[in-house]
Amino acid sequence: MKALERRLSGRREASLEELEEVQSELATLSLRELTSLLGRTSASRGAKILRLLPPERSAALFDTLTAAHQADLIRALGDDKVVNYFGAIGAEDRVALLDHLPVEIAERLVRQLDEDDQRVTSVVLGYRKGTVGRRMSPKVPNVTPEMTVREVVGLLHDHVDELETIYTIPVVDADRSVCGVLRLRSLFRAADDDRVAEMMEDASVFHAGDDLEDSARWLLSSGRLAVPVVDDDNRLIGIFTYDEAHDVAEGANSEDSARMGASEALRTPYLSTPVLRLVRSRIVWLLVLALSAILTVQVLDIFQATLEQVVVLSLFIPLLTGTGGNTGNQAATTVTRALALNDVRKSDILSVLWRELRVGMLLGTVLGSLGFLLATAFFGLGIGTVIGATLLIICTISATVGGMMPIIAKAVGADPAVFSNPFISTFCDATGLVVYFLIAKSVLGI
């Protein structure tokens, strides 16, 4: 496959014979290998690969990609062929793709769908971003408790290509209110004349306006393959599947990880992401952190006279700022993860504060005692006392602030990851230095 990558990356226009050779090589690759190939090349070369594949295989390959990657390829293709790809994916994936496209391209693609696809796409587009309704599949079979197994199997057989899933089937009454779910395993076990009412199970449902990420994580942890989605009147409007929940959770985890590392999530494979987009994903955060770091410089400037009197204090600055930042980051990462898993809620803020306060004090006691012993052994009792006391206080403050910030962010509607590692490190650096020099002045009398 590496030879194929090199051939595709050639700058000169390929001859007809070379294109035929590439086409033959592409035909030997599995769908997984083709997906990997697209992830390792630019959008323009990826578009070339899609054009060289047979229509059905090309559409199947397109469906395996993330919405952002699909959007890049659509821009690169720039022809009517994209309508075939757009129509071949599910309504929920179609809407996710539209969110990454310019308005004029999105409108053109929707207009060229057939009437039925336009209708189901409009249903999903009607819900705001970040809700279950925005990622549900509106195509579900109309199964009622009075139906027999034979009737249900016939219905599924007639519409199997249209449905998002047949493994979990919502059961509705005359008002389309969900009264249960029917699992495929139960359907296979039953006799042809058995009624759905005899084998359906109690149903958990999502409302269309429910938070998308919270719902996705609940579905993944529940062991279910799908959950029915209802409107405000509790009428069935769609189904939210395990694979959609997995995509949502994976995207949220990638975003949180990127923001904890002071950048934005790429949403496309690294090697297929343009260099300018890589720069844009990092430059804003670097500028913000550079401005935040000025606080640390200002603190050092204020206490410059203290440093000049006891130069040895400067040796411990990296140790103290690093310890404070790491302690805060550990707490923030733990609480952010707990928020994502719904182990912690906004109402638990006091419980988290009390817990992290105790954790910070215990960590500070251990590290402060060790710092006191080592600093005293090499620099005397005064310096040892300063280092030990500073570590105790810094760890306590950092753990408490680190645990609180993600919950505060959640309460004001911000992303907890934004308030995590980069900002906490800067805050702890500045605060830690203030604590350090105030203790030093008090203990050493300078």
Mean pLDDT of 170-197: 91
Averaged pLDDT score across all residues of the chain: 85
Domain shared by 188 and 306, yes or no:
no
Report the CATH number at residue 238: 3.10.580.10
Range of the domain at 209: 149-261
Return d(Cα 288, Cα 299) in angstroms, integer.
18
With a cut of 60, say whether residue 120 has pLDDT above it. yes
Tell me the average pLDDT across 100-105: 78
Distance CA(25)–CA(21), nearest Å, equals 6
Distance CA 274, CA 223 (A): 38
Same domain, 77 and 208: no
Residue 159 — pLDDT band, cuts 50, 70, 90? confident
Report, as an integer, the average pLDDT of 176-183: 93
**327 lies in the same domain as 364:** yes
Angle between helices 317-340 and 349-379 (to 10 degrees): 160
For residues 293 and 440, membership in a common domain is answered with yes
Query: From CA 111, how far away is CA 95, in angstroms rounded?
Result: 14
- Tell me, yes or no, whether 139 lies in a domain: no
pLDDT of residue 205: 95
Spatial distance between the Cα atoms of 443 and 446, rounded to a whole number of angstroms? 8
Nearest to 395 by CA among 309, 319, 298: 319
pLDDT of residue 235: 93
Examine residue 49 and state whether it is found in any structural domain, yes or no.
yes
Least confident of 189-203, 309-323, 385-399: 309-323
The pLDDT value recorded for residue 215 is 93
Q: What is the pLDDT of residues 281-318, one digit of tens each?
A: 778 777 777 776 777 777 777 878 777 777 888 889 88
Cα(274)–Cα(267) distance, rounded to whole angstroms? 12
Q: Is residue 426 part of a domain?
A: yes
The rounded percent of the chain whose pLDDT value lies above 70 is 92
Is 115 within 8 Å of 150 (Cβ atoms)?
A: no
- Same structural domain, 21 and 165: no
Q: What is the pLDDT of residues 103-113, one digit of tens each?
A: 777 877 888 77
Single pTM value for the model: 0.68
One domain for residues 360 and 246:
no
pLDDT at residue 422 in the model: 66
Residue 134 lies in a domain: no
- Judgement on whether residues 191 and 226 belong to the same structural domain of the protein: yes
Number of domains in the chain: 3
Judged against a pLDDT cut of 70, whether residue 16 lies above it is answered with no
Query: Which pLDDT score is estimated for 80?
Result: 57
Instruction: Give the pLDDT of residue 2.
Output: 61
CATH of the domain at 113: 1.25.60.10
* Nearest of 61, 34, 36, 44 to residue 9 by alpha carbon: 44
Boundary-marking domain end, from 83, 111, 126: 126
Q: Single out the residue in 126, 159, 183 at which a domain terminates.
A: 126
- Write down the pLDDT at residue 312: 86
- Residue 314 domain-assigned (yes or no): yes
234: left (phi over 0), alpha (psi -120 to 50) or beta: left
Neighbour-count burial for 41-52, b at 16+ CB within 10 Å, e otherwise = bbbebbbbbbeb
Question: Is 35 in contact with 64 (CB distance < 8 Å)?
Answer: yes
Q: Rounded CA gap, 134 and 144, in Å?
A: 26
45 — phi, psi (to 5°)?
-75, -35
Within a domain: 131: no
Statement to judge: residues 113 and 218 lie in one domain: no
